[in-house]
Structure 1
Amino acid sequence: MATLQLFLLVEALAAAAAAAVVGQSAGDSLAANGAIAGNQMLISEGGVFQLGFFNSSGSGNGYLGIRYCKPVDPSVVWVANRNKSLNLSTATLNLTADGTLSLFDNGIIIWSTGTSSAINPVLQLLDSGNLVLTAGKPNGASLWQSFDHPCDTLLPGMKLGVDYSTNISRQLVSWKSPTDPSPGDYFFKMETRGVPEISMRRSSSEKIYRTGPWTNQGFSGNPKMEDSEIANKLNFSFVSNQDGVCYTTEYKKKSLLTRAVMNASGRFERWNWDGGSWSNFWHVPEDDCDEYARCGSNRICTKEYYSYSCSCIKGFEDQGSLGCERTKPLSCSSDRFLKVQSIKLPDTENATAHSTKTTLAACEDWCSKNCSCLAYAMAGLSGCVTWSGDSVDLRSFTSGGDDLYVRLAASEFGSSRSNERELAIGLPLLLGFLLLCCLGLLLLWWRKRGKKQGILATDLESSVKETGLLLDLPKVMDKDERFGQSNSSACESLQQLSKTDFDASEQHWSSIMINSENANLHNERAASVNISGALSSFDLSTIKAATNDFSADNKLGEGGFGAVYKGQLQDGQRIAVKKLSRHSSQGPDEFKNELTLIANLQHRNLVRLLGSCIEGDERLLVLECMENRSLDAFIYDKTKSVLLNWQKRLDIIVGIARGLLYLHQDSNLRIIHRDLKPSNILLDKDMNPKISDFGIARIFESEVHENATTRPIGTLGYMAPEYLTSGIFSFKSDVFSFGVLVLEILSGKRNRVFNQADICLNLLGHAYKLWKEGRSLEILDDALDCSYPATEILRCIRMGLLCVQEHSEDRPTMAEVVMMLASEDQQLTPLKQPTITLASSEGDLSSKEISVTIAGR
């Protein structure tokens, strides 16, 4: 190998010496066995671009790159060896006879095209700025081109995107600094998940800006692309098909010089040459509202003179940093669509493109018939685009933008159409109710006249049945009670019925049956039909078809409740099915408990219940599908934990905290979860956390703060000490479990004792010991890189330790925890010694031996 490199170096130096006699320019091309070195260069035929060595920092080291020729201050548009600089005095670019283009520095190959086996290869620099290596002229086959390997600059004719046939992904990566062309922190790349759009990311993972989908004239998030000045000089195009997805620009007028740059400060800029200097035509992000998801979900960001404002979409209410949530649940069949004008269309990761020939009316029709469709828009090239999740990263424009149609409950509109529908349904029911009351009064009058009770009752029942207004009187009173009660109690029964909306009678009786402690199978069926008007009762055959008859391939996992299976309904909706095992440690009471609780809880950080199935011996819960399964699959797995950078871990911690705050304080039912652990934290496709498994949760009245049980149940390692020793549980029990979760998320380790001889090897004791010694950062997961903010992590560690203190009164409430996470200025209370539980965190309490002690001070 060394002999080959020496031979190539000698050959390159000889060719460079020969070229030096001719002059600085070697024309626009380099033939086989040719080389350039020093101040030699290739210049495109029209004199637009030059290829040569340059030095941007003033040192003796430099790079090989392509620059403009004409501008007084030539700008670099492409760099070959951006990963490693070279010594300009010893560097050469060499093209061998077999088509290998290599860059040498003192006999060492710094960069190469990796091509070979060519005949009569030719390297040519074109006026477009593209450096092309072909197998001979003219019309030789292309072996390699610089346009397939962009750096930070997008030139007309260059594609940005993904080529499926060649598996080439073309993206822009910023320079490290204005004088250092090595790869920097910012990426400008095509997103192909859902409906294609381009995003800007920091460190390849954190999304900081997106263009929005292509709308034929330009991107939804950048109306300036449609400006007539630039549109008259450039063609913008976007192609998405089975071969790939790409965005390109082409010149309309050759006199224009233009380039788009992903710069080192995190801005994507378009520059035009106006004959004397480069002028910045537009850039993104341009203002606060361009920042990705600046206002959260279902909020619209509006640019103001010196700041910005966030407002919920109509039909949504503010939930703080969580964004906005619906004020009224959807019913699917009667929902309508709100037109939101002149905005940037939402993030398209959860969007689907339909036929480009679809009309706006057909798009609305499709969306209205699919209950999972929550919004739609006509997006140019993509045609009808529909969204199945929250609307994220919305912003308004004073001019330009697109129209989004958002699904809302019909009652949000109060329009004539909804009123007519309500009137058509409600008027006959109201008339029937009035007639029924009249019949009741008539019965009372007849009794006062001395009519026989049995005859009158029979006449009344016959009259009611003939009218068809009330077909099931047993729903109001038992058969034996209907005609055997006094006049006053009959009237009371009729009056009681008037308090219940006829439309909601099934829901009313379902709620009564659910809350009954002695509910039978009929009660359970009724409970699953329509809790809060949002749940469905699924047939067992439907669930079996969706899960491939509960096949092993569809099994996601198993817990105390039973197995969980993934599935897909006929309409394409993905679901998770929780199946109560006949041998489960949890039984019908836990099933009913979870069904009741989840159905009455609505929060973005709680798993959503879609319905249930009660058939024969089967008890099934149908839940929304969580694509990334549970948190424990990530934090304990060293191959997956690298996917959780600091920001993502913080987002998960904040999401869990907000879900718990809702359970403890903000929901109609104040709930203690009692089994908070990583396997009960599910992650959706965007890694947003959702609390699940409410089988052993308890409802607390607002004035009650503490309760006790003779049989503590839960998972060791996450149970508060007072619950383990005395059976006492409260909201602070969940706070303790949350603190354990925080420390596990940060460390990637389980809360257990690794060595009985050293109690500090328990995660809680180890974390406290490191805190006292000022070495807290040593607890961090090795998968975290060094880019994390130490101050934020130290606050999280301290907050976690506050949550696991021995005495419940020393622990903060979840409201205080959320404040600690949200405010850098929040004062933290003094930290006391946490409790150490000497037991494995694996398994249920019933199978473990428990002992509790305090770590040595």
Structure 2
Amino acid sequence: MEHRNMCLIYWCGLLLILITDSTSAARDTIFPNQTLKNGDTIVSANEIFELGFFSFKNSSFLYLGIWYKKVSPRTYVWVANREVPLLDASSILKLNDKGDLQLLSVSNTQVWTSQSTKLVTNSSPVAQLLDSGNLVIRDDISSNLIWQSFDHPGDTWLPGMKIGVDRLTGRNWNLTSWKTDDNPSVGSNTVLMNTNGYPQLYNMRHESSFQQRIGYWNGLGFSGALGIGLKNLYTFDFVLNEKEIYSRFSLINSTSLTRMILNPEGNFLLFVWSDTGHIWQLYLAPLMDACDQYGFCGPYGICSINNAPPCSCFEGFEPKLPEEWSVADWSNGCKSKMYLTPEKGHNFTKFSNLKLPDSQNSWFNRSMSLEECENVCASNVSCTAFANTNIRGVKSGCLTWSGELTDIREAPQGDVSGQDIYIKMANLKVIRELKPGTKKKSHLKVILPIVSTVVMLSFALTLYSWRKKNSYNKALVNKDQKQDPDLRYFSLNEVVKATSNFSINNKLGQGGFGAVYKGVLEEGGEIAVKRLSKTSKQGIVEFQNEVICIAKLQHRNLVKLLGCCVQGEEMMLIYEYMPNKSLDFFLFDENNSMLLDWPQRYHIINGIARGLVYLHQDSRLRIIHRDLKASNILLDSNMNPKISDFGLARMFKEYETEANTNHVVGTLGYISPEYAANGLFSLKSDVFSFGVLVLEIVSGKKNRGFSHQDHHDNLLGHAWRLYKEGKPHELVDVALGDSWTASEVLQSIHVGLSCVQQNADYRPSMSSVVHMLGGEGALPPPKQPGFLTEMTKPEVDSTLIMSKSPVSINKVTITQLDAR
């Protein structure tokens, strides 16, 4: 009998344990006076989210938070006591009879409470964690909502969560960044709904100065903000009524784990969890480049990240302070060319595909037609522009501005949220009548110098073909010196002495242009001498091109041209000497690659990017390099990268963005698809070459000649495969060992793939790249790269010169080999 009783007790105890464990595993609710201790958790019904206590590595602070149950490493979406961490692991969470959640220390001191403002109708409140990630407190009988965590957002915007204003209670639903990645206290960045004028979202810093304006909802997206519109992943709602103003997004596929986050650096990003790669993949970054800086081009200025410089004025307007625009300060914007008065008349000029101006000083009516809106603006002296509020389907609504129009940009490529605006302007016919002949004169100012330059260059080339006399050569160089006093003329005797009569021991390398020698000047200082070979068929043009281009450029990431030597048949360029040779010397050598750790490689990537921004945007000339490659990146004594060899560079005028040629130049593996196939080159051609360089720097492999046992793709195709499979880290050079930082490497791979996209329009500008590498922005997910496979066999010489026949992908290209 005793034995049977013992067995009964045993089995009952075991059953009780099983029931308890099962109940605990599925528990999503906290009942009144029930406590949650450190180590206990509650889990939402479908095990998507989990709530409990946590602490960061190497920290004794304890927090109560919500995280994704099945995501590793743990990703937190909400923290209760973010400003007051717990110091005692014995602290507990409790739900009292009034419907308040309380965090209590070991001494029963209240550290945090939900502080519900709604009265409980009975004594049966319950707290429940939902599959949306929302922690709610309800009346257990009536199911009335008492409190919810979604009303108190942190740094994460989850599907179903509101960002906006409750007009009845005055509550603001704002996102606030963490202070650091392991400190959830409130940081310096906030995403909020500004309700002055027509409501719009802002990303603000330090609570006072605007950082970025996401824009207002126009039915398809937030005006001009990349990607926040109708997608196959999610949809947005915008609600504006007498009770509340808010925006929220919902998932089309409810099983997808998706979150928007405002990180400590102020970047506003949307991530989607990849089950295959087990990583958070960046889906979009609505704010991504310099044009997203608030008021970057000032009043009536339009920012276009695809132009250099990025700022321009609306038609009928001109820079307010031209001297500031000449030094790339556009903050004061533009002014009308003619004062607008009712007596002189006005018209409305339509401008399309824009992120519309800041709507703080605006008036709106969401039921008016566009025609009614025009009448309202025309009859209001202070009205400066009008537009629709809703561009989805049949356009509707009226939005008018008063005062200056600020923070305008071209909508990003491929985005649907750009829209039309109608700006009130003085009659342009009056302007032209007041300034007769202006256009003709401006054309003459442009044409005459160009014609003069062409004539002079033609004359110089003709004289050279007749074996121009030494006296003429000196006069030509002296003339250049007067224009650029920093360009020194070296005598042949000086160069001969410096290089020990071009000793073979001083020879650094040989290329299509000729040989390169190291030299030491009598007054001290090392130089590199690029000597034009007498048999070179391309050196004369390249010599002139390089003198014209690089002599006018000064940047820490461009090699410095010290001078030249022209005497008899000798033509030489004199550069600063780079003791660490070129990037390819380290990158593609099995032994030398181990000398180049990740911090150095990341430094080189950033330096090259800054040099290209200078060439494309910030220099006095807009220059496309056209031959960016590892051998043309020189390294100084501190391993700082210097872009070199401007023999193939092309100068663009301010209004030019692309050009076409039937004489394609460049190097196999680095040349862009549109240039190889159609002879079309632009700033985005250099961007493509930069992207190839980045992937080569990360992997330590050449794009051209790359091979893999599982496929026949080149390096670009291989990187694309790994990215799609969620394994981009496998691209990392094994020579790096453990020196690489995951975030920097993944960011670099993302940048590289974004730069080598097949469609040039999708490639970012170099200024966007610099911002992303600096942690100040982000790029959207890349699309398929161009040239996924080798175009020619690796053994074919990559220094062929293409003839002036129609361009073919089968005949890609072509510059001299450069050794340093």
TM bucket (normalised to shorter chain) is 0.3 to 0.5
Specify the structure having the higher radius of gyration (Cα).
1
TM-score (norm 2): 0.46
